Chains A and B, each alone.
Chain A
Amino acid sequence: MNDIVLETKGLTKYYRRTLAVDHLDLKIPRGSICGFVGRNGAGKTTAIKLILGLLNPTTGSSTVLGCDSAELKPSIRQRIGYVTEGHRLFRWMTIGEIEKFQRPFFPKQWDGKFFTDMIDYFELSRKRKIKHLSNGQRAQVSLALALAPHPELLIMDDPTLGLDAAIRRQFLEGMIGLITRQGKTILFSSHILGDVERVADRIAVIDKGVLRANCSLEQFQKAVKKVMLSFTDSVPAEIDIDGLLHCRRSQKELELVLVGADEEQITAWAQKSGADKHQITKMTLEDQFIEYTAPPDHKKLFQWEEL
């Protein structure tokens, strides 16, 4: 069994003149849950479609389960589960009919009992037409369809968008249920960083088509730091510390967001610049993501004015 389940090299996609994905170099090891995060329009869906061979890249390549995405053999596709953006299914079918439709494409793997159990758990009737289901219920069916063949690789494109907390939790439970089986890997894109923090052990951050981070979740969380410094005299004009993402100043205080600086470097710089006090404040993953993907000179929307 190959250790790397998914690998892209310089994957690039232009839509006419718009650059959607810019030289993506992604590597996902077997057994991990990778949270694929990025702002709206950052290129997550395009990247996923390129990886699944549903789109032709402009340049670059992508390999899934040892096979080139451009020529994904049917036998490989059988091992990949895919939850599409928006959970679009055939609206005219009933739940029972769509299961019957899906089954032959996973001849040896389809777990009919598992599907039925899930549908029963969601309190859905097999006779209901998909067009009569709410968004949440359709998402549940989509999840059941994707998990029933116990896929080796599960790729989910923003699966919990617009869903309530209970259904989001069901998706997370489904993911953990799958990952506890041997040799499974999950890639999911999400806006809900709390979910990513909970279940992912790897994170890939994409911003305007560019992969800005691809590491373990712990590394990312350790790397992005916010430091508050206070000065009796004025705040230094030049901030020459490594890994500076943003800085915000007021008269006597300085807020720095750094990536990759360790505590010793920060302490050393604080002393060098003459700060009285400095403190590394805890950031949630959501804070870290926002700071990491914000443009260099970004300010907050509303500025507090001292009267």
Chain B
Amino acid sequence: MGIWIQISPGADKPIYIQVAEQIAEAIAKNQLSVGDKLPAVRKLAAELVINPNTVARSYTILEQAGLVTTKTGSGTFVADPKLRSSDAADLNLLSERIDTIIARGLNLGLEPENMVSLFKARLEGFVKKQESEIK
């Protein structure tokens, strides 16, 4: 797999969330393309030295979010984004993350308008980068 997963036990999030989020990020950044096969649960568990059940849970979360699909016997593959549908749980998670960023920004003393422009700039840059990579 072309991505590097780093886990830290005892961090804010449980390990299975860390793994799921890092894979999700890799998919978003196009480090993993549609149809790419994720490593087998056991293999990833052995590499990261974590419980295979933890990896299995991460994959389940990703599947529930529509980011990956599991074909019994073959493995877990990155799903087609067009077939995804985000649901309330996804949006909740996203909202929480946005809250964290907002809190950070306000703590730093940024004005709300500055934060919005910052966000817009980053979003545009991100989309541009994705499009250039697809080409």
8 residue pairs, one from A and one from B, having the closest CB atoms:
A284-B10, A180-B42, A197-B9, A198-B9, A201-B53, A172-B49, A201-B51, A194-B9
Residues of A within 8 A of B49 (CB): 169, 172-173, 176, 198-199
Judge whether B87 is part of the interface by a CB distance below 8 angstroms: no
For chain A, the bracket of interface size reads: 20 to 34
Query: Provided the pairs A33-B51, A199-B51 are in contact, do residues A177 and B46 lie with their beta carbons within 8 angstroms?
Result: yes
Which residue of chain A lies nearest to B12 when distances are taken between CB atoms in the complex? A282
Cβ A180 vs Cβ B46 within 8 A: yes
Number of A-B pairs, beta carbon distance below 8 Å: 43
Question: What's the nearest-Cβ distance from chain A to residue B4, in Å?
Answer: 18
In the bound complex, how far is the Cα of B14 from the Cα of A169, in angstroms? 20
B1-59: which have CB < 8 Å to A? 9-10, 12, 14-15, 42, 45-46, 49-54
Interface size on B, residues (CB 8 A): 14
Interface residues of chain B, those whose CB is within 8 Å of chain A, are 9-10, 12, 14-15, 42, 45-46, 49-54
Which residue of chain B lies nearest to A195 when distances are taken between CB atoms in the complex? B9
Cβ A197 vs Cβ B10 within 8 A: yes
Interface of A is mostly: helix
Which residue of chain B lies nearest to A200 when distances are taken between CB atoms in the complex? B51
In the bound complex, how far is the Cα of B51 from the Cα of A177, in angstroms? 10
Partner of B14 from the list A172, A180, A199, A218 (CB cut-off 8 Å) is A218
Interface residues of chain A, those whose CB is within 8 Å of chain B, are 32-33, 169, 172-173, 176-177, 179-180, 194, 197-201, 218, 221, 282, 284-286
Cβ B46 vs Cβ A176 within 8 A: yes
Query: Provided the pairs A173-B46, A198-B15 are in contact, do residues A179 and B10 lie with their beta carbons within 8 angstroms?
Result: no
Residues of A within 8 A of B14 (CB): 218, 221
Residues of A within 8 A of B42 (CB): 180
Cβ B50 vs Cβ A198 within 8 A: yes
Query: Provided the pairs A218-B14, A221-B14 are in contact, do residues A201 and B54 lie with their beta carbons within 8 angstroms?
Result: yes
